[in-house]
Every structure is written in structure tokens, then in C-alpha cells.
Amino acid sequence: MRNYGQKAYTYIGGFAALAILIAVIVWSVWLEAHSGTIRFHTEENNVNIYLLKNNDNIKSTVARNGSAKISSIDPGHYTVLAHKEDFLPWTKEVDIEKGVMTKMHPFLIAKNPQYDIVASSQAEYDRIDALISENTSAEKTSREGNITLRKGGGAISAEWVSGSDTLPAYFCNIENVCENPVEVVSILGNIGDFDFYGSREDVVMFAVGQTIYALEIDSKYPQNFQPMYSGESPRFFLEDAHKLYIKDGGVIIALSLK
């Protein structure tokens, strides 16, 4: 009888564990279908990410290795804030829908970026100076070949030229109306040098007057706009996606981008 009792308890325990597992799976499926998820990717590690609603922190996470996820978000309108010490903050409003995963790609600019000065006595100076002087094209295509930027006076537009007909979300506004090409920036003055920011296709950098800025293509509020460098009258050239050379007042500096 003892063996039968032990077997009965084993069967009952097994069925109970299975029932709990099924209940957890059903609950997870139901929750996923009735809530939203945001997946984040950044070039920086250890970025603090906050999900705000009416200025209250609803959920938070840390992108320790450049990626993170916030799940089980009730449908509604939220604000996302990405923050890291010594970097300018990034924020974006987002509408969460049931059963939909939203991808977000914050870009963070260092408040005081580290750079190296290219001495005028170096042979490298002449090479870089020539690259900057010849950087006069009014058209730039991303290294992946998906997007072409075009400059005209005080405006920059972006055109999706990939073989894929599906436009990325950053070509669409908050009402999900998409345009191709899409205007990235338009100012009263003239825009100087411009290019993609590092290896990213969704962020543009350009020089206006004394400052070089980085601006995301995504126009959904707010369209994040960060200063990268301020001086006298900077010109620049981007080499191999990760090395930015800036010439200002006869001095050339090298700045590493991620």
C-alpha cells in the first residue's frame, strides 16, 4: 500500500506541476496578446531606460550590453527616457498597442567627447586635410546602401533606396503616415558638411555655423537634436564609419564614433 501511495503522490505532484506550467503559459500568452513590448538597442552599454506616463515612472530597465526590453506594457501613450551619466539624454513619445513589439534605437552623445589632435607636423595631417577639403558632395549614401541623403541649401532629405519596399518606422510620423523621401531638417541658413552618424542609418550629422549637430531622421516627437562639437567654423569628414575628423581654425581633431 505504501508503494501505491507514493506513486499516487508522485502522479498527483506531476499533474499539479504540469497544471501550473500550463497555467503560466496560458497567462503569458494572454498577457502578451493584451499588452505591448518595447525592445531597445543602443551603441552604449549600461544605459538607464525609463518608461513614463504623465511624468510618473511606470517601468525601467538597464541596457547593460546595449540591449534591453520592457514587456507587459498596458496599451496607451508613453514617454521613453534613455539616460547615462556624462551623456546627453534621449527621449521619445510612443504609443503602445496590444500584441505589438516596438523597436527603439536611442542615440546618446557624450557631453564632453574625447578626441585626439592631429599635429600639423604629421604626414597624416595633409591626407586628412585633403579629405576634408574634397568633402563637397551634396549626396551621401549609407554604407549599407539603404538610404541616400541629399543636401540643398538649408535642407537635408533622406530617401529609402533599398530593394525592399517596406519603409523603416523612422520614415513615418506619429499617425503612421510614411513619406519617401522624407525631409530631415530645414533651416534658414546654409548647411555645411553632412553625413550619417557613425554606422547608423537613422541619424544624420551636419555642420551649421559654429556647431556640428546630430539629428535623428525620425520626426516623431521629439525629434532628438544634439550638439556634437562647437568651435569657430568646423568642417568634417567621416572615415570608415567610426572615425570623424574635424578641422576648425587650422587644427584637425579625431573623434571616435560607435
The pLDDT tens digits for 198-212 are 999 999 999 999 999
Considering all CA atoms of the chain, what is the largest pairwise distance in Å, rounded to the nearest integer? 95
Closest CA to 82 of 67, 100, 102: 67
Predicted TM-score (pTM) of the model is 0.85
Q: Give the tens place of pLDDT for each residue, 83-140.
A: 999 999 999 999 999 999 999 999 999 999 989 999 877 888 999 999 999 999 999 9
How many CA atoms does the CB half-sphere of 102 hold within 13 Å? Answer: 24
DSSP assignment letter at 167? P
Is the pLDDT reported for residue 11 higher than 60? no
**Residue 83, SS3 per DSSP:** strand
Of 131, 124, 218, 117, the C-alpha closest to 171 is: 218
Judged by DSSP in three states, 3 sits in helix
At 20, the pLDDT band (50, 70, 90 cuts) reads low
Q: Which one, of 193, 203, 211, 217, lies nearest residue 257 by Cα?
A: 203
pLDDT in tens, 159-179: 999 988 889 999 998 888 999
The percentage of the chain sitting over the pLDDT mark of 90, rounded to a whole number, equals: 75
Beta bridge partners of 183: 157
List, in sequence order, every beta strand (DSSP E) within 209-250. Answer: 211-216, 225-230, 235-239, 243-248
How far is it, in rounded angstroms, from Cα 32 to Cα 131?
51
CA angle centred on 224, ends 176 and 235, rounded to 5°: 125
* C-alpha cell recorded at residue 224: 532628438
| Averaged pLDDT for residues 30-41 | 78
Helices (H) and strands (E) in the chain, counts: 2, 19
Q: Return mean pLDDT, the chain.
A: 89
